[in-house]
Amino acid sequence: MSLDLFSGVERAVEEISVRLAARGHEVSVVCRGRYNLGGENLYRGVRLKNLPAIYTKHLEAISHTALGAVEAMRGYDIVHFHATGPCLFSFLPRCSGRGVVATVHGLDWQREKWKGFAKMVLKAGAWASGRFPHRTIVVSRVLRQYYADAYGRPTTYIPNGIAPVVKKPLDRLGRFGVRPDHYILFLSRLVPEKGCHLLIRAFQKVQTDMKLLMVGGGSYTANYVESLRKMAASDPRIIFAGALYGDDKAEAFSNARFMVLPSTLEGMPIVLLEAMNYECPVLCSNIPANLDVVEAGGGQSSYAQTFECGSENDLVQQLKSMVESDFSLKETAARARQYVAREYSWDRVTDLTEEVYFSVRNALNV
């Protein structure tokens, strides 16, 4: 079983928790039983606690988190909440004397799938994430500035990380009719803020026999996914592969001509780190969260091509340029791989997270 099912949050929880367990800490992760398909209660030294949830778009996360927060009120030194919504309940373990830490992976209330009351609840969760925990971690410098400006709250910047990987030759992905270095990769959730629709429209204006491999599933966005399929129906070059994991995902990164992330909203996009880690060239929108990953030294060095967020014309031009490029792409990708190996490491992320835990525990013991 892998906890890496849907997003960067699950990946971060998995990578940090197994490392903490390996260091001798007793670590428990509260899971939604539906997704722990093997029914396991131990994963690489981490105890998995399955709790129920009301499995609907608006109630799944909040119902599960409420139960998890009650569970966390006893028997733990540190309780770590991930994402803003769950932080609504972070006052419960704090009131029971637990040390409370929160990690903000993004401003969920800004996501297009949330409307009305749900958006209000997520806004309240963002506020709570800056008020209830003893320490708040943010995964990007953009978020750190936001919390300082919006809530006057100092936060600790700890980015997500990557682990060493081995590139995979194309094998299993042959079932989609793609060839090495002859397809463009999109790999993320099929939700509006990822810009999937913009990419499809732009790609349809590029004269090439390369494929566009759309990898990912929806997240309570069935109507949006259906609209993407209808948009792409007349272009046989566009392939919807669904979600890919393990070796399939490694093959996708290893053999793509380049990957595109045309998102309008991100917290800290792990997928960019993953692509760069596989030496896969990257084209991404120029939103601050993406630039925070692909640029170094305040923009003095860039490890990806960028385009103006939301601009179909600019995306078309950049796609054409990268389809026609070869050596320059590979040269930049090689430098990018060295950069992420040097600057982003799950071991370092775990070190910094552990320091936050100790600081909270020590403050409570004074």
Domains assigned to the chain: 8-161+345-365 (3.40.50.2000), 172-343 (3.40.50.2000)
Both tokens assigned to 4: 């890496």
DSSP string, 218-271: -SS-HHHHHHHHHHHTT-TTEEEEE---HHHHHHHHHH-SEEEE--S--SS-HH
pLDDT at 4: 43
Residue pair 344/273 in contact by the 8 Å Cβ criterion: yes
Convert the pLDDT of each residue in 150-186 to its tens digit: 999 999 999 999 989 999 999 999 999 999 999 999 9
Q: Which candidate, 171, 262, 169, 250, places its Cα nearest to that of 212?
A: 262
pLDDT at 1: 39
Both tokens assigned to 92: 């419960």
Distance between CA 140 and CA 137 in Å, rounded? 9
Residue with tokens 């430098």: 335
pLDDT at 32: 87
Residues 6+ apart with CB under 8 A from 277: 162, 164, 165, 253, 337, 340, 341
pLDDT at 297: 56
Q: What is the pTM of this model?
A: 0.81
Residue pair 293/302 in contact by the 8 Å Cβ criterion: no
pLDDT at 21: 98
Give pLDDT < 50 ranges for the chain: 1-5, 366
Distance between CA 161 and CA 158 in Å, rounded? 9
Tell me the Ramachandran region of residue 44: left when phi exceeds 0, alpha when psi lies from -120 to 50, beta otherwise: left
Both tokens assigned to 195: 């810009």
